Structure 1
Amino acid sequence: MKHIYHMTPMRALLCSLIAGGISLSAPAQAQTVFGVYEGEACPAGYTPLAPVDAFWTFLARCDELPYSGVFRIADGASIDGPWNNCQQHANDTRELEYTLCKPNYQLFDIDGTTFAVVRGGEQCLEGFEHVDFATASAYSDEICTHVGYWGIARIGGGGSIDGVGYNCGIRATDSRQLGDAICVEIE
């Protein structure tokens, strides 16, 4: 999957300057970081930009999208590039060439090693691999706090680790489909 374009975090107070000092700040969604990817899906660790995120992100910054594209966003919707003023379309059934994706992972560090909890799937980010059972066991108290209180995440070898709500349990094998993954940076 080819990454086409990347946006840095945006200012939260989009409208306050336009209103001449009256604070009409956009919600936190206005700070959405996004990337443009080829195809109808996002890579591991990313999820399609929600329509509300797209609205607030491009309300006053439509020119930050590539000019002539039409981009897939979440819930079957799409958004046009600046050529059509970033107009959104619900239930767009066309096959589109690009998708707007936002990060859906969290990086954390344990003893100088970078780990990632990847939400929404069992795959790791590029440059990462599933943490092995021995490492997950050795650092289970630290890792489980990142899983999510009632979460269960995939680790290497088909195992899993539980969040704090399940007492940080760890299994060498777990045949269930899981929604998250714990990964470690490849050295």
Structure 2
Amino acid sequence: MKHFYHTMPMGALVCGLVAGGISLSAPAQAQALEFGVYEGESCPAGYTPLTPLDAFWTFLTRCDELPYSGVFRIADGSSIDGPWNNCQQHGSDTRELDYILCKPNYQLFDIDGTTFAVVRGGDQCLEGFEHVDFATASAYSDEICTHVGYWGIARIGGGGSIDGVGYGCGVRATDSRELGDAICVEIE
């Protein structure tokens, strides 16, 4: 999967209109997001498709940041056109598209000078990272489990898992369940 375009994050975008003394504004959580354009119909590990709302707010004033003539997959079977068609969105687009717009879905954290990542929405690690081994997860369980999610359970190396704080930060050497997140460590 080739990543060929990326932009830096932008602060919250707030649009306002005063009509007859009533202010109509964008929701506070509306913001332009960091995104990447990837070949294919799926995002790489640690990334998730932009939602239609994400795409709307990201490209409302920045449509020219997309490659000109492309049509790009976004979440929920939707798509968005490039600047050639003013970033118009299409729901239920069943065509096979060459590109997808993805946003980061991971969090980096540091323990004793080592960079770790919790990757949401899958049990794969980011490029340049590998699953934390059982010994490391056990040694740093109190620190790592706070990043898992209170009631979360995340994949670690060797097919094991680590629980979030709500489950007491337990670490298992093996766990055959399908898990939605992963704890990874940067490869040295």
CA contact 2:48–2:105 (8 Å) conserved in 1: yes
Deviation at 1:13, TM superposition (A): 3.4
Tell me the CA shift for residue 25 of structure 1.
Answer: 5.2
Aligned alpha-carbon RMSD (Å): 1.5
Query: TM-score by structure 2 length?
Result: 0.93
Name the residue aligned to 1:74. 75
Is residue 59 of structure 2 the alignment partner of residue 62 of structure 1? no
Aligned match of 2:6: 6
1:92, 1:177 → 2: CA distance? 30
Structure 1: tracts of 5 or more residues without a match: none
Instruction: Give a deviation string over 1:121-177, Cα, whole Å, max 9, x none.
Output: 000000000000000000000000000000000000000000000000110000000
Deviations 1:47-77, CA, capped at 9 Å, x for gaps: 0001100011111111111111000000000
Does residue 175 of the first structure (1) align with residue 176 of the second (2)?
yes
C-alpha contact 2:14 2:30 (8 A) present in aligned 1:
no
- In the TM superposition, residue 29 of structure 1 has moved relative to its aligned partner by 3.5
Q: Deviations over 1:14-64 (max 9, x none)?
A: 536x98xx8945643423110000000000000000110001111111111
Which aligned pairs between 1:38-187 and structure 2 lie closer than 5 A?
38-187=39-188
Quick one: distance in 1 between partners of 2:176 and 2:11?
43
**Deviation for aligned residue 1:117:** 0.2
Report the Cα distance in structure 2 between the residues aligned to 1:28 and 1:154, rounded to whole angstroms. 30
Structure 2 Cα separation of the partners of residues 78 and 4 of structure 1: 18
Distance 1:90 1:25, change over 3 A: closer
Q: Assess if the C-alpha contact under 8 Å between 2:120 and 2:181 holds in 1.
A: yes
